Structure 1
Amino acid sequence: MTTLVLVRHAKSDWGDPGLDDHDRPLNERGLRDAPVLAERLAGTGIRLEAILSSTALRARTTASFFASAFGLETELDGDLYGAAAATLLRAAAGRGVPAVMVVAHDPGMTALAERLSGGGIGHMPTCAVATFVWSTDDWDVATATDPQEWSLDRP
């Protein structure tokens, strides 16, 4: 099986208008939601082998909660910051393992989730978790076909 989990970073803090976008932290809601969604996903029994994250602080922090829940390290990828859907999918497929989480940003996350769900996911709100499963172990086959199942969880 091939599994892709997309996580849009949790809610960020806009309190400091002078702060570079890349350096914005999570706000109180984001810090509350991320560990809840991480534990909820881990509680499903899903198996992950890699967690990829944008280098933006809000994505890294969100990813850290999931990494802790799954006992994995987060791999940072600067190309995921502001990435388009195709870039997000290539990053996951290029990791070389069948179960990958990607933590990144909109609009790429929503675009990819919509594409993979056949339009069933209209929008990925902050800290949303979209899971896609294919019956093949081959990412090339998976990325060229519709997943056998998908789900969306949100705060």
Structure 2
Amino acid sequence: MMQLTLIRHAKSSWDDPDLSDFDRPLDRRGLRDAPVMAQLVAGRKQQIDVILSSTAVRAASTAQYFADALDCEIEFFDQLYNADPRRVADLVAAREEDNVAVVAHDPTLSILARHFSPQIPHMPTCAVAWFTWPANSWREALRTPPARVQYDIPRDTA
């Protein structure tokens, strides 16, 4: 069984016009939503073996909330910032772990989520989408439709 969890970074701040896009931190809403969504995932007992995260400040901060709640490791990848969806799929396909999460950005994650489930219209900030396949490898799983899909957004957890 293979499980992929896509997590869009939590809401970021635009308060400091001197910061680059890469360096923007989480804003107040992001600081509220990230731990709530991380606890939601932890409360469902859905295992995540490793989180692959963009190195952008807002993504790394979001990933840390999930890693703390799930007691798992984070690996940071510069290439997840403004990544092509195929590059994300390639990173996942190269993994040995069966339960992988990716914390990254849009439009990449919305494109991937729609690819796996056309019912997911968009990945708003701090959205979490789970995809499960009855497969033995990522290469096999990523070529077929998932058997199970779960999609949650912060607005629906309030």
TM more than 0.5: yes
Q: Which residue of 2 aligns with 1:126?
A: 125
TM-score w.r.t. the length of structure 2 is 0.95
Note if 1:148 corresponds to 2:147. Answer: yes
Task: Give distance in 2, aligned partners of 1:115 and 1:150.
Answer: 12
Task: Give distance in 2, aligned partners of 1:91 and 1:132.
Answer: 16
Report runs of 4+ in structure 1 exceeding 4 Å deviation: none
TM-score w.r.t. the length of structure 1 is 0.97
Q: Which residue of 2 aligns with 1:72?
A: 72
Instruction: State the SS of the aligned residue for 2:142.
Output: helix
Structure 1, unpaired ranges of 5+: none
- What is the CA distance between 1:73 and its match in structure 2? 2.0
Q: For residue 121 of structure 1, what is the amino acid of its counterpart? A: I
Q: Which residue of 1 aligns with 2:29?
A: 29
Task: Give distance in 2, aligned partners of 1:147 and 1:39.
Answer: 24
Q: Deviations over 1:57-94 (max 9, x none)?
A: 00000000000011112110011001121111111221
Task: Give distance in 2, aligned partners of 1:91 and 1:30.
Answer: 26
Q: Which residue of 1 aligns with 2:111?
A: 111
Structure 2, unpaired ranges of 5+: none
Q: Which residue of 2 aligns with 1:43?
A: 43
Q: For residue 124 of structure 1, what is the amino acid of its counterpart? A: M
- What is the CA distance between 1:137 and its match in structure 2? 2.1
Contact kept, 8 Å, 2:6 with 2:113, in 1: the verdict is: yes
Give the superposed CA RMSD: 0.7
Q: Which residue of 2 aligns with 1:97?
A: 97
How much identity, in percent, do the aligned residues show? 49
- What is the CA distance between 1:152 and its match in structure 2? 0.6
Q: Deviations over 1:87-142 (max 9, x none)?
A: 1111122122111000000000000000001x110000000000000011211110
Task: Give distance in 2, aligned partners of 1:85 and 1:39.
Answer: 27
Contact kept, 8 Å, 1:84 with 1:107, in 2: the verdict is: no
Q: For this pair of structures, how many residues does the alignment match?
A: 154
Task: Give distance in 1, aligned partners of 2:93 and 2:45.
Answer: 22
Task: Give distance in 2, aligned partners of 1:18 and 1:55.
Answer: 19
